[in-house]
Amino acid sequence: MGTAAAPGSTPAVILYHVPPSFYSQVARLMLVEKGVAFEPRAVVPGPPNFGTYAPWYMRLNPMGTVPTLILDDEVLDDSRTILEVVERRFDRPTLRPHDADAQAQVDRWVEDAYQISERVLAYGSGRMRTMGRRVNDGRRRAVLTWREKTPDMASIYDAKLADLDQFMTDAADDATVRAQVQGLHDKLDTLDATLDGRAFVVGDSYTLADVIWTVTVARKIMMGDDPFAHRPHLRAWFDRMRARPSFDRADVWTRFKPHKMLPIALREFRRHLSIAAALVALLGAALAYLR
């Protein structure tokens, strides 16, 4: 992942991310499309270590979410900010057209995508609800533990607790989930109509609107939905987006890829495995002594 840049032409760029995360994929696709070389570093907002809630990360990103992009001295803790700042700081290729009308259209499509709460769609869906609730319970526990250990960061952790509580309420509320599903459905209909006779979401070149909607449609496919039923123009556009080298380079997911998580999971469990190994060794020693 990441692209090679001419030596000396690109500042040091670090992306904290996790492979399946929706918003991490947005950041990755943006960086790849812009030709910005970056160093990916996995940090997991889930079990067993809930790494994004550790103080060092919460100091970078007070919401404890991925992605976070370090761009020289700038810390960008939100994918939308990443889209804006990367677009501004790396001028070629231009993904926000110069024409004012096209610019407004791109901004509207980006805004529409960010109106969708991907976390409510994922954690509120029938299949994921119970597991999602467990993950969020674990996140709450991790946040409470770190709050206890770092009293100077209590207000940051309190804000995160409030965020998690709202997230859990929304994902458990059928009406909220239904409204999100319907909202996305309507936008996909509009997108399909917009793409009739067009190669890209706005105008005749690839823009930020294509970045965010590529990942949005890919996520629908990954969740087992068919976004293309009665939407032929959307399908044709997505096929084109998928054929771009950036799609694989940025590792946009249309299906679960457990093998991508395996090295990260092994690393995450290393501490637990060594504790288990130490316990087994102790038990062995105790048994030997008892004999």
Ligand X SMILES: N[C@@H](CCC(=O)N[C@@H](CS)C(=O)NCC(=O)O)C(=O)O
Q: Give contact residues for ligand X (rule: CB under 6 A).
A: 21-23, 45, 64-67, 78-80, 119, 139
Q: How far is the CB of 91 from ligand X (least distance, A)?
A: 23
Q: How far is the CB of 34 from ligand X (least distance, A)?
A: 17
**Would you give the end-to-end CA distance of the chain in angstroms?**
55
CA distance 280 to 275: 9
Asked if 61 and 24 count as a contact pair (C-beta separation under 8 A), the reply is no
Q: Given the complex with ligand X, which of 78 and 170 has the nearer CB atom?
A: 78
Q: How far is the CB of 97 from ligand X (least distance, A)?
A: 23
Q: How far is the CB of 47 from ligand X (least distance, A)?
A: 12
Residue 244: beta bridge partners? none
Asked if 137 and 127 count as a contact pair (C-beta separation under 8 A), the reply is no
For the record, the structure tokens of 164 come out as 């998690």
Q: Given the complex with ligand X, which of 119 and 260 has the nearer CB atom?
A: 119
Q: How far is the CB of 53 from ligand X (least distance, A)?
A: 7
Q: How far is the CB of 241 from ligand X (least distance, A)?
A: 20
- Concatenate the DSSP letters of all residues of 15-30 into one string: EEE-TT-HHHHHHHHH
Q: Given the complex with ligand X, which of 62 and 203 has the nearer CB atom?
A: 62
CA distance 136 to 212: 25
CA distance 273 to 264: 14
Longest dimension (CA), the chain: 83
Treating both helix axes as pointing N-terminal to C-terminal, what angle do 22-34 and 208-222 enclose, rounded to 10 degrees?
A: 140
Report the amino acid identity of residue 168: M
